[in-house]
Amino acid sequence: MTETGNARPEHDPVAEDLDLLTTKEATARLYDVLIETRELIAELERTNAAPERLAEARVRARNLEEAIEHARKPVTPPAW
């Protein structure tokens, strides 16, 4: 997933109004955490942090990217 290839997900105002965690809101929250994780990776690279910490952050970023892609896929109801 690239930021230029996919638009930043918008937070869902309905989720806030009704105190729900919609798919749209979950995707936006995952994206927010992904941005924080990418910033952490950049900081770890700048400070020559322990390789294990950097590897862990990169795995987390990949997992978040996969979760966002999964959440963005339309749900198709089963054909009965």
Mean pLDDT of all residues in 14-41: 87
Q: What is the pLDDT of residues 35-79, one digit of tens each?
A: 999 999 999 999 999 999 999 999 999 999 999 999 888 878 778
Is 5 within the bounds of a domain? no
Neighbour tally for 10: CB within 10 Å: 11
Q: Please, what sign has the CA dihedral across residues 13, 21, 24, 57? A: positive
Does residue 34 form part of some domain? yes
Residue 5 confidence (pLDDT) above 60: no
- Name the domain count of the chain: 1
CA max distance for the chain: 56
Inside any domain, residue 35: yes
Please check whether residue 6 lies inside any domain of the structure.
no
Q: Domain of residue 29: give its range.
A: 13-72
